[in-house]
A and B are shown apart, each in its own frame.
Chain A
Amino acid sequence: MRIQRRLDTPRWLVVAVPAASLVAAIAATAIVLLAAGKDPIATYARLFDRAFIEPGSLSNTMITATPLLLTGLAAAAAFRMRLWNIGAEGQLYLGAVGASGAGLLLRDQPGPVIIAGMILGGLLFGAGWAVIPGLLKAFFNTNEIITTLMLNYVAGLLLTYLIFGSRSFWRDLSTFSARAFPQGKPLPAAAMWPSLDLSVVVLPFGFVLGVLAAALLWWLYRSTIFGLQARILGDSPPAARYAGVKTRRVVVTMMALSGALAGLGGASEVGDFRHVLDPRGLQQAGLGYAGIVVAALGRYNPFSVVLVAFLLGGLANAGYSLQGPGFPAGLVGVLQGMILFFALGGELLIHYRISLPVPFGERGLSRQ
């Protein structure tokens, strides 16, 4: 088997391969299900039903898809220039801290002010957390994969500490039961984020923001100096240095942007859905890591990320709501992993051409 790098990729292949990998992943997971004695077709039917068909399911899917969209964009923004920001998880936590803090501080202000403050809090805290590994990378060339990863854990510990390990501002100390069983201070009613009711589906505010962010990101990469410089840097660092791109500035700015998006995801979790700082819930959800999956499947294109977030949101939504003895939680991860494996494998076909070995005796004619 010969493998040669393709010079040019035919258009149809770029669409066909992800589609084929999706089919392959579904088939492979079906085998896992069969091995566990479950009926794959019934399981898939229930998943699909619960994700998209049942009344109210689309709106529920949107709820799960929103954070995935934002962390997906966060990952896509950074990964597109080969900046491996694995820290969306921690940046999301910090964003939640910032947003809930702002929401509590501004509790006596009118609604729009609180919400604006929460958005700002989410963006700033998320960006700030991402800037740390960004600076380390820019000035010390420290590998961002490990630093962002490590900071995820520090962020998780910080989150836990704020509610379970201390008597901080975020913690609800108003009632006896709240003091005995640690929980976050609930946000005021005015801090609830609005939603867009399109009759067939209800879009959370965070989702709307996400779509706007996707358009902005697309435009940024395509039509701004910063975007061009980011692409040059991601493509060839020596060329970027040669072209006079201020590498450090671009790296730190992109990390900040990526972190801000993840932080916005955290703000949305608080403002759209939880209305309180919930360390356990946030840490269990693994939204930051899931965002990387979304970004990878969307091949780092912001609009594809929207679509993939919607699809994976449906899967996650169905998975969580169906959870129970008949439907173990681990299934979601298995299916997500499978999809990603096949998508990764499919990438090979997009970038390389595979030719089969030439039959014996026909050496003079090498087939491609």
Chain B
Amino acid sequence: MRSITKRFPGVLANDAVDFEARRGEVHALLGENGAGKSTLASILTGLYRPDSGEIAIDGKTVEFHSPRDATEAGVSMVHQHFRLAASLTVADNIVLGYRGTPWLRTNPGTIEAQVAELAKRYRMPVRPDARVWQLSVGEQQRVEILKALYRGARILILDEPTSLLTPQEANDLFETLRTMTAEGRTIVFVSHKLDELMAVSDRVTVLRGGKLTGTVNTRDTDQHALARMMIGREVVFTHAKEGHETTRETALELKDVSARDDLGLQVLHNVSLTVHHGEIVGVAGVAGNGQRQLAEAISGARPRMSGDVLVKKRRLRSGDPEHAVVNGVAHIPEDRMDTGVSPSLSIAENLVLKSHRRPPISTHGVLRHDRIMRNARELITRFAIAAPGPDTPARLLSGGNVQKVVLARELSSSPEVIVAANPTRGLDVGATEAVRGLLLEAAGRGVGILLISEDLDEILLLADRIAVIYEGRIVGVVPGSTADVQQLGLMMAGASA
């Protein structure tokens, strides 16, 4: 890819980037969120058209007008968020859009046999007749890879492939990649996880702010050097919380909490946890093990099957968010744009999303607009929310500013406990530091924080104690300062410590 440039409204995503990958190598594409690596990958796979620059495959210049062109040229991408039709079968999904099979499928068994054969060859077992919604995340990713292999992909792009996998599943994936490169295929591995790249790649290309910082051989470099190329300054890898007082008083206690998910299946099994005032308890785990439902069960957004949630010894009513709010529970949800705020409502209205039922914001069922505005102006200033005005609809704000609105609202209610779910996901470095700073500050003031995060690094950085959740159960709690990543990884994958 030579001198690729791509501009979106308001941002120059790729600025004259050069990128080349050799046959049979695993080439990592490294950069922070917003550095342009996903854009570059999307251009290579035909999703976007570059504003200028060109792509050459095996020496020949090509132009992709759609993902199908790219697929026909042998370039396939496995996206971070899978593109699968949940109610169709595995075989259906693999064959979807492929024109090599006959139009009339008199015997669906033939395709299923082909798929099974392919899966066996690459040691990725998956049932061809299973419906995708029945599969685990790791299995779904295998379907995505099989899709590419079925179409004879010579160049496979993987976008943050391990973000949803356990350490063991990630290792299985790397095995599969090695099989593929041995056959002469090329893998482009897009990621921001330094340790993985060091383990699996042959070369690394680093992007920063849309520009190419450099391309190095993996064995000639180390994490520090890569981090410097990625961020432009030294990154501190040590624990952030120093000399921090935690009291013995319990802020939040969960006793044998069980809950069901939206489909009626039990997703939390007898979860017990304690968070003390001023303490940050991290809940680590791979996505999809009940984290969201745990946060909702505590905040009242989800009713509990059994068990108790107590805040300062007071029992919270199940399924009653108002009761939780009144008793000092703040919740920063993982889906900030559609749950944390109501997108079409103004910032001012969003800031009273939880307090609108009580004085001084409302009296006798009627809203007091003057109080709402005053509250909004005060919070916008205090939390430095960048917006044209309090009447601006929330959906016009950047991710970081939306999170500031959420934090402003939650923190200003003087909570006893904060349940924060993936609070820095998708935010740039500046916003991430701001959010973490606010959480640390709250802990310093004596608020108990339950930090539920899929980012193990974040938990290692901030937590006093770390609990691991697996399939809706707490499988272990370890002190933060002495935590061993291997041990945590094993727990996250369900192996007992």
Contacts and interface: CB of A to CB of B under 8 A. Distances in A.
Interface of A: 4, 7-8, 223-229, 231-232, 235-236, 238-244, 363-364, 366, 368
Contacts of B341: 239
B396 interface: yes
A226 B362 CA distance: 11
Given A366-B7, A366-B51, A239 B366 contact: no
A317 to B, nearest CB: 37
Contacts of B365: 224-226
Contacts of A228: 349, 356, 367
Interface in B342-390: 342-345, 349, 353-354, 356-357, 362, 365-367, 369
B345 A232 contact: yes
A239 B52 contact: no
B370 to A, nearest CB: 12
Given A7-B396, A8-B396, A225-B365, A242 B331 contact: yes
A40 B24 CA distance: 73
Given A225-B365, A229-B356, A239-B341, 19 more contacts: A7-B395, A223-B366, A224-B367, A225-B367, A226-B365, A228-B349, A228-B367, A231-B344, A232-B345, A235-B342, A235-B343, A236-B338, A236-B343, A239-B342, A241-B321, A243-B353, A243-B354, A244-B301, A244-B357
B339 A238 contact: yes
21 contacts: A4-B9, A7-B395, A223-B366, A224-B366, A225-B365, A227-B367, A229-B356, A232-B342, A235-B343, A236-B338, A236-B343, A236-B344, A241-B321, A242-B321, A242-B340, A243-B321, A243-B342, A244-B301, A244-B354, A366-B7, A368-B9
Contacts of A244: 300-301, 320-322, 324-325, 354, 357
B299 A242 contact: yes
B357 A225 contact: yes
A224 B349 CA distance: 12
Nearest to B341: A239
A242 B353 CA distance: 9
> What class of interface size applies to chain B in its complex with A?
35 or more
B367 A236 contact: no
A355 B199 CA distance: 46
Contacts of B366: 223-225
Contacts of B343: 235-236
Contact of B52 (A231, A241, A364, A368): A364
Contacts of A8: 396
Given A231-B345, A242-B301, A244-B354, A236 B339 contact: yes
A235 B393 CA distance: 12
Nearest to B363: A225
B46 interface: no
A238 B335 contact: yes
Nearest to B339: A238
B51 A364 contact: yes
A231 B322 CA distance: 18
In terms of DSSP, what is the predominant structure of the interface of chain A?
A: helix
Nearest to A238: B339
B333 interface: yes
Contacts of A225: 356-357, 362, 365-367
Nearest to B367: A223
Nearest to B321: A244
A236 B343 CA distance: 7
Closest 7 CB pairs of A and B: A244-B321, A244-B322, A238-B339, A239-B342, A235-B342, A243-B353, A235-B344
A239 B300 contact: no
B103 to A, nearest CB: 31
Best-buried of A229, A235, A241, A242 by chain B (most CB within 10 Å)? A242
Nearest to A366: B51
Given A226-B365, A244-B354, A368-B9, A238 B51 contact: no
A233 to B, nearest CB: 9
B162 to A, nearest CB: 27
A227 B344 CA distance: 14
A232 B51 contact: no
Contacts of A7: 395-396
Nearest to A364: B52
A107 B156 CA distance: 82
Nearest to B353: A243
Contacts of A238: 335, 338-339
A4 B10 CA distance: 14
Best-buried of B7, B333, B339, B343 by chain A (most CB within 10 Å)? B339
B396 A235 contact: no
A224 B357 CA distance: 10
Interface string B7-42: 101000000000000000000000000000000000
B311 to A, nearest CB: 15
A242 B333 contact: yes
Contacts of B9: 4, 368
Contacts of B395: 7
B364 to A, nearest CB: 9
Interface in B287-324: 299-301, 320-322, 324
A239 B338 contact: yes
Contacts of A239: 338-342, 353
Best-buried of A224, A240, A244 by chain B (most CB within 10 Å)? A244
Contacts of A224: 365-367
A229 B353 CA distance: 9
Best-buried of B342, B356, B365, B395 by chain A (most CB within 10 Å)? B342
B366 to A, nearest CB: 6
A204 to B, nearest CB: 31
Contacts of A223: 366-367, 369
Contacts of A368: 9
B371 to A, nearest CB: 12
B339 A363 contact: no
A235 B339 CA distance: 10
A226 B366 CA distance: 9
A236 B51 contact: no
A226 to B, nearest CB: 7
A238 B339 CA distance: 5
A138 to B, nearest CB: 15
Nearest to A365: B51
A158 B138 CA distance: 56
Contacts of B357: 225, 244
Contacts of B340: 239, 242
Contacts of A236: 338-339, 342-344
A243 B324 CA distance: 11
Contacts of B367: 223-225, 227-228
A274 B342 CA distance: 45
A236 B336 CA distance: 12
A235 B362 CA distance: 21
A8 B252 CA distance: 42
B478 to A, nearest CB: 31
A231 B350 CA distance: 11
Nearest to A239: B342
A368 B331 CA distance: 40
Nearest to B358: A225
A358 to B, nearest CB: 9
A207 B339 CA distance: 40
B174 to A, nearest CB: 36
Nearest to A358: B51
Contacts of B322: 244
B157 to A, nearest CB: 23
Contacts of A226: 365
Nearest to A232: B342
A242 B339 contact: yes
A229 B354 CA distance: 10
B368 to A, nearest CB: 9
